[in-house]
Structure 1
């Protein structure tokens, strides 16, 4: 059986020793470093010239917290697995965990069996997170997919009954308006002047029998599926 080297970083001695004991109780892991903060982790890896398979980092540590350490490790040593430990599962913490590229997220309230199972999933290359975190991002993904669908040209044309009086450029501008783009953003994207965008919008307003941008945005905002 392969042995995977682990570095544990936790500012509180009691928790650090407990986590270390949990890890060393598993035959497939060997703890090679017990440290108090993220900076000590970086120094340990640099000075000892070691590349641990896994770094278990508490999110809340002095000097350099787990998030900052995880971000640094993933930038310099992308192959090192990084798992963050926290007592919190709020949405802000969840988003930060994803943003630093961590390989997993374990709540300190987890049971011992769950903790060990999570580490074994990490070995298999899986991203592991609490159920609340999975549900949160599942909802976010559903929302993003819905927005993407409702901003598709096909969806917009369908909403306008595939009317034939819009040309390709006008459809493009309507689509970008649906995405919330400004005239300047639309002009830069299409490689035309901002004045030209305004001219196209004037034509679109006339065809839709509306007066201004506000009314067009209102029409687009009502396009829900």
Structure 2
């Protein structure tokens, strides 16, 4: 069996040796480098002119931390798999990991079987992350989809279906206002003048029996609340 080459970077000797032993215990992998920081990883790859299949990086390391190293690795060698190791699973840490395009994220609190399974998933080209991360971004995605849905023209038409006085152009302007667009942005989008947008808004306010943009936005907020 051809083994996948691995570089391990961890500043603490005990953890570095433990991780190395865990990886070496797997038939699929062979550790070719054990290093103390991200800069050593970059130097090792450059000097040895070798491209490991996988680099395991502790996030918190001196000289060059795991996040900075991961970002540089992905810029220089996009085909190298990069997995970050961390003791933290807070939202800020999770978002930072995704921002550097890592292929996986393993918590140091993970069990040995979970650790090994994660590495095997990486071989199959899957992004692997803790359950908390998956749940967090699932909630974020659901929230973004809700916002997108409630800003669609179809949604606006449904909410104002009781008001037959509003025509399609007026509903379109209401939709763009709900997205937070300015009069100038709306004008550019619709290919009309800013003055024409203001005229449409005056008509919309009159038809809805309100006075201004603030009241319209409040009305839209009440509809989705």
What range describes the TM-score normalised by the shorter chain of this pair? Answer: over 0.9
Q: What is the root-mean-square deviation in Å for CA atoms of aligned residues? A: 1.7
Instruction: Extract unaligned runs of 5+ from structure 2.
Output: none
Match in the other structure for 2:62: 62
Match in the other structure for 1:135: 135
Query: Does the 8 Å CA contact 1:150/1:223 hold for their aligned counterparts?
Result: no
Q: CA deviation at 1:164?
A: 4.2
Query: Does the 8 Å CA contact 1:87/1:108 hold for their aligned counterparts?
Result: yes
Cα deviation 1:25-77 (Å, max 9, x = unaligned): 11110111111111221222222211111110111111211111111212221
The normalised TM-score by structure 2 is 0.93
- CA distance in structure 1 between the aligned counterparts of 2:21 and 2:177, rounded to whole angstroms: 57
- CA distance in structure 1 between the aligned counterparts of 2:207 and 2:148, rounded to whole angstroms: 26
Query: Does the 8 Å CA contact 1:157/1:163 hold for their aligned counterparts?
Result: no
Q: CA deviation at 1:162?
A: 6.4
Match in the other structure for 1:28: 28
Instruction: Extract unaligned runs of 5+ from structure 1.
Output: none
- CA distance in structure 1 between the aligned counterparts of 2:192 and 2:44, rounded to whole angstroms: 55
Query: Does the 8 Å CA contact 1:9/1:57 hold for their aligned counterparts?
Result: yes
Q: CA deviation at 1:199?
A: 2.5
The normalised TM-score by structure 1 is 0.93
Q: Does 1:117 align with 2:123?
A: no
Structure 2 CA distance for partners of 1:61 and 1:184, relative to 1, 3 Å: farther
- CA distance in structure 1 between the aligned counterparts of 2:162 and 2:51, rounded to whole angstroms: 59
Cα deviation 1:124-177 (Å, max 9, x = unaligned): 111111111111111111111111111111111000016443343322221111
Q: How does 1:5-16 map to 2 (within 5 A)?
A: 5-16=5-16
